[in-house]
């Protein structure tokens, strides 16, 4: 049965200067590594048609499926604070869009599919390791319920790519609400192409923020919407200990999804200053800096949209500033609300913020594992017999005890049956995240052509809130945390 992808493309109808039409470059020997049948089904692709050699051909770019209109998107971006007026899809090609069974329109994009007019000095290719990392982490984020691009397939190319060393090549098929970025707006603003900025804004409203269309100032409502979704997204990230690693404006999606998984990682021990990316030497994108950076990126979006926000510079600026001022309170509400729920509180009382901040301070001082502390608190919420397991995570066990007494007193102010509370906490505090040592072990095995650990980790992280007998190994931090652990972009 041939693979049928029900394409319904709209971005390729936008003016020519929004993209370059470019076909994927053939690869030598495509071999399917994994295809996401559940996601395929959601997209209206028959999972029964997947798995054969045609699958490797389609998801490597060797066969361009019917209905695809391959394009590389134009965008600009601030990278580590410095502006590049032209970036664009240098190693990604959008095949087209699909309206899924849920009525949602999504992009289907190949990453690592060969050079495009935006490749600059790059080869347009991706290495196996970063492709598998993106597969693991994006699917784990989806399982955690966090807005994110997804992974439909990974294919080995049978070719090598030249990085610091020779590495096996691969192509990832990414599915996202769209690939429109803050940097897409910046691309046109930098060219003083106001007509294109407006066309893009109208397109984004129709695709992602339809409620804005009927508002008095649709563009302001659009900006408000992007700011709100980013604030919520950033809260979701920090509440699971996620560090994106490269929060450049070209990696900030207008849809509010997490995109562009590069040197990303989850923390083991709680450390607000945690950085894993090898290229982030100044710690610009450190764990606790992320909300501030998102706000900065949104200010760049507001700048690019300024002429749409009001008549004249002053009116536009005033509107932009008002919109941006909403980010902080929105983030804090989502963050502290999330933290309250993580420690089992259903209501909000004075002192709750201080209570969770005190816990975090003690966790930081005692190098307590972020994920496990909250997971083990679930049992402790049901009764003090759960305390020992939490206490064991703190370098000084007394640091936990000193907090737990106040926490118990606060819990007692809510009349929730302990077991009900513990179960509710287990639905939001994951047991399993793709921990760095497990990801590294899976990638190292894959480089030796053993995909067993990759498959097993993918399966384990697909059910993050369940205690699986036999899967305890996936929930534990490494015996020894490597302080020099770094992740690489692979670019």
Annotated catalytic residues are 250
Which residue's CB is nearer to Mg ion, number 172 or number 442? 172
Quickly list DSSP for 304-329: HHHHHHSSSHHHHHHHHHHHHHTHHH
- Nearest approach in angstroms of CB 490 to ligand AMP is 8
Query: 112 CB contacts (<8 Å, ≥6 apart)?
Result: 91, 92, 124, 125, 126, 131, 157, 169, 170, 171, 172
Which residue's CB is nearer to Mg ion, number 42 or number 148? 148
Is 123 among the residues that bind ligand AMP (CB under 6 A)? yes
Query: 65 CB contacts (<8 Å, ≥6 apart)?
Result: 3, 4, 5, 7, 58, 95
The answer to whether the Cα torsion of 375, 378, 379, 385 is positive or negative is positive
Q: How far apart are CA 463 and CA 460, in angstroms?
A: 6
Which residue's CB is nearer to ligand AMP, number 76 or number 212? 76
Segment holding 107, helix H or strand E: strand 105-111
Which residue's CB is nearer to ligand AMP, number 252 or number 373? 252
- Nearest approach in angstroms of CB 122 to ligand AMP is 2
Among ligand AMP, Mg ion, none, partner that 122 touches (CB below 5 to 8 angstroms by kind): ligand AMP
CB 249, CB 181: distance < 8 Å? yes
Mark out the alpha helices in 327-386 (DSSP H runs).
327-342, 352-365, 370-382
The contact pattern for ligand AMP, residues 371-400, with x = CB under 6 A and - = no contact, is ------------------------------
- Nearest approach in angstroms of CB 417 to Mg ion is 47
- Out of 119, 199, 217, 463, point to the residue binding ligand AMP (CB under 6 A): 119
Q: How far apart are CA 38 and CA 461, in angstroms?
A: 15
Query: Rounded to the nearest 10 degrees, how much is the dihedral formed by the CA atoms of 430, 431, 437, 440?
Result: -60
Which residue's CB is nearer to ligand AMP, number 107 or number 260? 260
In the numeric block, which tokens belong to residue 359? 């816990």
Q: Which stretch binds Mg ion (CB under 5 A): 258-266, 283-291, 402-410, 415-423?
A: 258-266
Name the residue whose CB lies closest to Mg ion: 260
Among ligand AMP, Mg ion, none, partner that 489 touches (CB below 5 to 8 angstroms by kind): ligand AMP
- Nearest approach in angstroms of CB 343 to ligand AMP is 35
Q: Please identify which residue in the block is written with the tokens 């992808």.
A: 5
Is 329 among the residues that bind ligand AMP (CB under 6 A)? no
Q: Which of residues 450-489 bind ligand AMP (CB under 6 A)?
A: 489
Q: Distances from the Cα of 377 to the Cαs of 201, 289, 359, 451, 476, in angstroms?
A: 45, 26, 11, 34, 15
Is 181 among the residues that bind ligand AMP (CB under 6 A)? no
- Nearest approach in angstroms of CB 34 to Mg ion is 22
Q: Which of residues 213-252 bind ligand AMP (CB under 6 A)?
A: 246, 251
Among Mg ion, ligand AMP, none, partner that 491 touches (CB below 5 to 8 angstroms by kind): ligand AMP
Q: How far apart are CA 391 and CA 405, in angstroms?
A: 13
Terminal CA-to-CA distance of the chain, rounded, Å? Answer: 36
- Nearest approach in angstroms of CB 258 to ligand AMP is 13
In the numeric block, which tokens belong to residue 68? 């695809």
Is 268 among the residues that bind ligand AMP (CB under 6 A)? no
- Out of 44, 90, 307, 338, point to the residue binding ligand AMP (CB under 6 A): 90
Is 260 among the residues that bind Mg ion (CB under 5 A)? yes
In terms of Cα–Cα distance, which of 429, 426, 233, 414 is closest to 334?
233
Q: How far apart are CA 61 and CA 55, in angstroms?
A: 10
- Out of 47, 48, 52, 122, point to the residue binding ligand AMP (CB under 6 A): 122
- Nearest approach in angstroms of CB 152 to ligand AMP is 18
Is 124 among the residues that bind ligand AMP (CB under 6 A)? yes
Which residue's CB is nearer to ligand AMP, number 222 or number 259? 259
Is 125 among the residues that bind ligand AMP (CB under 6 A)? yes
- Nearest approach in angstroms of CB 107 to Mg ion is 14
Query: 151: which strand partners?
Result: 174
Which residue's CB is nearer to ligand AMP, number 40 or number 293? 293
Which residue's CB is nearer to Mg ion, number 260 or number 280? 260
Q: How far apart are CA 486 and CA 472, in angstroms?
A: 25
Segment holding 170, helix H or strand E: strand 166-176
- Out of 9, 63, 109, 251, point to the residue binding Mg ion (CB under 5 A): 251
The residues binding ligand AMP (CB under 6 A) are 87-91, 118-119, 122-125, 246, 251, 260, 262, 489, 491
The residues binding Mg ion (CB under 5 A) are 251, 260
């Amino acid at each position: 049965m041939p693979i049928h992808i029900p394409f319904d493309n709209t971005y390729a109808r936008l003016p020519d200067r929004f993209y370059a039409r470019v076909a994927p470059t053939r690869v030598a020997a495509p071999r399917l590594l994994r295809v996401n049948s559940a996601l395929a089904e959601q997209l209206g692709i028959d999972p029964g048609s997947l798995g054969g050699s045609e699958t490797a051909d389609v998801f490597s770019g060797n066969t361009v499926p019917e209905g695809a209109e391959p394009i590389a998107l134009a965008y600009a971006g601030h990278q580590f604070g410095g502006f590049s007026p032209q970036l664009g899809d240098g190693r990604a090609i959008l095949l087209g869009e699909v309206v899924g069974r849920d009525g949602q329109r999504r992009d289907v994009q190949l990453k690592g599919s060969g050079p495009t007019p935006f490749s600059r000095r790059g080869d347009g290719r991706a290495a196996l390791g970063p492709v598998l990392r993106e597969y693991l982490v994006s699917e784990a984020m989806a399982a955690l319920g966090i807005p994110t691009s997804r992974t439909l397939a990974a294919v080995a190319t049978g070719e090598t790519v030249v990085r610091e060393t020779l590495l096996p090549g691969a192509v990832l098929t990414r599915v996202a609400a769209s690939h429109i970025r803050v940097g897409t707006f910046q691309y046109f603003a930098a060219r003083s192409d106001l007509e294109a900025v407006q066309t893009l804004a109208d397109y984004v409203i129709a695709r992602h923020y339809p409620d804005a269309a009927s508002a008095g100032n649709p563009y302001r409502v659009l900006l408000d919407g992007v700011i709100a979704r980013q604030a919520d997204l950033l809260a979701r990230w920090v509440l699971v200990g996620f560090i994106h690693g490269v929060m450049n404006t070209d990696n900030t999606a207008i849809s509010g999804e997490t995109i562009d998984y590069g040197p990303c990682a989850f923390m083991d021990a709680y450390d607000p200053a945690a950085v894993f990316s090898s290229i982030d030497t100044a710690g610009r994108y450190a764990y606790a800096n992320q909300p501030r950076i998102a706000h900065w990126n949104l200010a760049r979006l507001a700048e690019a949209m300024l002429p749409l926000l009001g008549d004249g510079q002053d009116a536009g600026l005033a509107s932009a500033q008002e919109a941006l001022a909403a980010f902080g309170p929105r983030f804090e509400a989502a963050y502290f609300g999330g933290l309250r729920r993580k420690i089992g509180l259903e209501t909000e009382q004075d002192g709750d913020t201080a209570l969770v901040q005190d816990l975090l301070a003690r966790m930081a001082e005692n190098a307590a594992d972020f994920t496990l502390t909250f997971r083990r608190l679930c049992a402790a919420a049901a009764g003090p017999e759960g305390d020992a397991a939490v206490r064991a995570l703190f370098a000084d066990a007394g640091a936990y005890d000193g907090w737990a007494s106040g926490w118990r007193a606060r819990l007692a102010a809510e009349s929730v049956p302990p077991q009900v509370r513990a179960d509710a906490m287990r639905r939001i505090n994951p047991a399993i995240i793709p921990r760095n040592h497990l990801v590294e072990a899976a990638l190292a095995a894959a480089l030796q052509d053993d995909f067993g650990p990759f498959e097993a980790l993918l399966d384990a992280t697909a059910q993050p809130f369940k205690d699986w007998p036999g899967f305890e190994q996936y929930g534990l931090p490494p015996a020894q945390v490597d302080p020099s652990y770094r992740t690489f972009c692979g670019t």
